[in-house]
Amino acid sequence: MRIIYLALLVSNLIAANADSLFVQGNYYFDDEKYIQAARTYERMLISVEHADLYYNLGNAYYRMGEVGHAVWAYEKGLQFEPRNRDLKHNLEFTNTRVKDRIDIPEGFVFLDWYRAFKNSQTVNDLLIWGSVFLLLVGLVYALGQFRFLGRQSTSRLQTAFVIFTILAHGICLDKYWDVTGIEEGVILSSTVNVYSVPAVRDEMIVFKIHEGLKAEITQVHDNWIEIILLDGKKGWIPINTIRPLS
């Protein structure tokens, strides 16, 4: 009991501290002291998280001209609220200033729709969908048993809801694997040489990428990170040129 109480106290303290820091950060932002604002928001991130916190942090970085950090913050915010309009707008807007334009190979239309849907939901969103459908299955079953519903409509409704339940949980599992299995990062340095080996060798430069580009991280080796771009290009970059999104 005492431990719970203590934990509650600590969390209250953290929240109060975060509130004042947030107000302070916004004050710096309005004063056009974007560097201090970003620093304040980053300090908050040590203890707490929120989509809106990442949003403000991204705005501060954008105003500083740090496109890479801004993209990182917006992406991070979208992990929490993938349907946040402001976050989406600012990310899209910032992406117009990213030099690399990667053409994603066009895929199957339904697959793209599925991906788009998956990206617009968090794991918890999908869990809620699943649980609500399961609840409906239960409700229809109970109503059918008590003869409140006809035999036929019961079985139809029940089939539909069972399918939805399974779908929702399946997508949820897929999303969960995405979140835990795929590690991504955003490039911070204005220009980064991508090497075919984890070492600086001029003749081994495969291609160049620029600030703000999102890439998948596949391996880490000492101070080097292996990245793979959306179009399938692969290579090694120094670890300090990228900020992971996990």
Partner 1 sequence: MRIMLPILFLFEIAAGQSVTASVDVNQLAVNETFTFKIDAKDADNMPRINLLPLEKNFTIISGPAQQTSYQWINGKATSSKTLSWTLVPNQKGRLTIPALTVTVDGKKLKTKPIRINVKGSGQVVNKDELFLLAEIDQDEVYVGEQSTVTYKLYTRVQMSLEDIKYPESVGFWTEELSVPRPPRFNQTTINGVLYNVATLYKVALFPTKTGELELSPMTVRCNVQIQKKRKRQRSIFDDPFFNNFYNETVQKVLRTESRKIHVKPYPSGQPANFTGAVGEFKLAASVDTDKVKANEAVTYYVELQGTGNLNMFSLPKLDFPETMEVFPPTASFEQKQLWDQFTGNIKWEYILIPRQAGKVFLPRIELAYFDPKDEQFHSISSRSVELNISPAKDQLTSGTSGFTKEEIALLGQDIHYNVTSPRSWIERGSRGIPIWVWTSYILAAGLFLAPVTFTRYQQQRIATAGQRMSHRALKRALKSLQTQSSIENVAFTVYTYLKERWQLKTDKMDPLFVEQELNGIIPPEELEGLIQLLKDCDAGRYSPETMTDQDIAGTAGKLLKKMDSHA
Binding region for partner 1 (CB under 8 A): 11, 14-15, 18-19, 22-23, 26, 29, 44, 46-50, 52-53, 55-56, 59, 62, 80, 86, 89-90, 92-96, 101, 124, 127-128, 131-132, 134-135, 137-139, 141-142, 145-146
- Of 160 and 204, nearer to partner 1 (C-beta) is 160
Q: Output the smallest distance, CB 227 to partner 1, in A.
A: 20
Tokens standing for residue 111? 């697959």
**Contacting residues for 187 by C-beta, under 8 A, at least 6 apart:** 68, 209, 210, 211, 212, 213, 214, 215, 237, 241, 242
- Of 29 and 72, nearer to partner 1 (C-beta) is 29
- What is the CB neighbour count within 10 angstroms for residue 167? 14
Cα-Cα-Cα-Cα dihedral of 227, 120, 52, 215, to 10°?
10
Q: Output the smallest distance, CB 52 to partner 1, in A.
A: 4
Q: Output the smallest distance, CB 167 to partner 1, in A.
A: 16
- Of 26 and 196, nearer to partner 1 (C-beta) is 26
Q: Output the smallest distance, CB 193 to partner 1, in A.
A: 21
**Sign of the torsion angle spanned by Cα atoms 76, 77, 80, 82:** negative
